[in-house]
Amino acid sequence: MSDAFVNDNDPILDAQHEHIRDRSPDANSHRAGVQAQIQNPVEELIPMQVRYRVIHETHYHYQSMVTLSQQYMHMTPRCFAYQQTDSHQIRLDPREDDTVQGMDYFGNSTQHFTITVPHKALVVHAESTVSLAIRPGLAQIKDTLSWEALRNMMQQPASTDTQQACRYLYASPHVSCSSTLEQYARASFATGRPLLDATLDLTHRIFDEFEFDPKATEISTPLEEVLKGRRGVCQDFAQLMIGCLRSLGLPARYVSGYILTKPPEGQPRMIGADASHAWVSVFCPELGWVDFDPTNRCLVQREHITLGWGRDFSDVTPMRGIVLGGGEQELKVRVTVTPLN
């Protein structure tokens, strides 16, 4: 009798959400470059747009034959003010019998496919070309409203500006709100401090005070344990920061995507050497949603490519589903981000 196996990507988030410090031997110079870029985001030498090609390959190898596979994917880069998806395609091997395109509650593109051909391996090849525009820089985030002003605004009856942000204000399946998280955040959020200036400080503190360790946490590890252990991976750091912000009464969402890494000096870019990634977006009435990356201690500019966003990682898992049969499985994920200009 065939067995049913639920694939929720839980065993493989270390592969899907790798940490740039471990993926790039030249990570220190990379982070310095990011900081230099965001200091002067409109210099004449910086193009108005940058373009990337992203290839995301997922390979499943099964111990025994799979007779049915149904999968739900978030693998189409999102279009919004700072990003345009110029082209996108997904190829499957074996080919799907049925595909349904859709959009989830948060406005992310989705694909649901069914394969009924018996198979012992599944390959999902997603390829996209995206264009990224200039985002707000450091100078623009220093003089925003105070964080208390936004907290008070969110406590009032929902307006057009705050209605959508309310969905990212409360606890979610993998993000808790607690006095412990609020207390940790308070060191950055002094009375009257500008919202985004305080958020950047929290971003820096998480980077400085936490250690990347893929063996330290699991998908179900509570945020309070991540805070206590000071170790984890990028989705832990993103969800920890979101929990801190929501515990203060501030709306924050989880962003899933990719980040460009740089090879060592003099070395060619390696195929599959880039990373799936996760970071944080904070609502600011003056600027809209502004993104921060606690894993890499930076304000997000134009080296982050957005797949989608939600309350936490469970809303935007790249691929999840159910297979009948298969037994044990082996998973390999490769992501390649190539600059086109």
Q: What is the 3-state secondary structure (H, E, C) of 69-110?
A: EEEEECCCCCCECCEEEEEEEEEEECCCCEEEEEECCCCCEE
Residue 164 has φ and ψ, to the nearest 5°, of: -70, -30
Question: Residue 243 carries which DSSP code?
Answer: H
pLDDT at 162: 86
DSSP letter at 316 equals: S
Q: How far apart are CA 35 and CA 41, in angstroms?
A: 10
Note the pLDDT of residue 270. 65
Predicted confidence band of residue 268 (pLDDT cuts 50, 70, 90): confident
Cα 54 to Cα 76, 175, 179: the distances in Å are 10, 29, 40
- Residue 37 CB-density burial (10 A; 0-12 exposed, 13-18 middle, 19+ buried): middle
What is the distance of C-alpha 104 from the center of its chain?
16
Establish whether the linkage from the previous residue to 318 is cis, with ω within 30° of 0.
no
Query: Considering all CA atoms of the chain, what is the largest pairwise distance in Å, rounded to the nearest integer?
Result: 65
Residue range 10-20, pLDDT digits in tens: 333 444 443 34
b/e per residue 127-160 (b: at least 16 CB within 10 A): bbbbbbeebbbbebbeebebbbebbebbeeeeee
Alpha-carbon distance of 50 to 130, in angstroms, equals 8
Alpha-carbon span 300 to 280, nearest angstrom: 9
Q: How far apart are CA 66 and CA 64, in angstroms?
A: 7
Angle among Cα 177, 178, 179 to the nearest 5 degrees reads 145
269 phi and psi, to 5 degrees? -65, 130
Q: pLDDT (tens digit, 9 = 90+) per residue, 179-208?
A: 999 999 999 999 999 999 999 999 999 999
Mean pLDDT of the residues in the chain: 87
- pLDDT of amino acid 273: 66
At residue 26, the pLDDT reads 34
Please state, as a whole number, how many other Cβ atoms lie within 10 Å of the Cβ of residue 207. Answer: 18
State the average pLDDT over residues 140-169: 90
pLDDT for position 266? 78
**150: helix, coil or strand?**
helix
User: Is residue 269 predicted with pLDDT exceeding 80?
Assistant: no
Q: Are 329 and 82 in contact (CB under 8 A)?
A: no
pTM (predicted TM-score): 0.86
The answer to whether residues 57 and 124 touch, using CB atoms and an 8 Å cutoff, is yes
Model pLDDT, residue 134: 93
Structural domains in the chain plus CATH codes: 4-41+52-133+317-339 (2.60.40.2250), 138-311 (3.10.620.30)
What's the confidence (pLDDT) of residue 272? 61
- Cis previous bond, 94, omega within 30: yes
Break the chain down into helix, strand, coil percent, rounded to 5. Answer: 25, 40, 35
pLDDT at site 47: 64
Closest CA to 15 of 238, 273, 321, 328: 273
Structure confidence by residue, pLDDT tens digits, 278-334 = 999 999 999 999 999 999 999 999 999 999 999 999 999 999 999 999 999 999 999
The mean pLDDT of 47-68, rounded to a whole number, is: 94
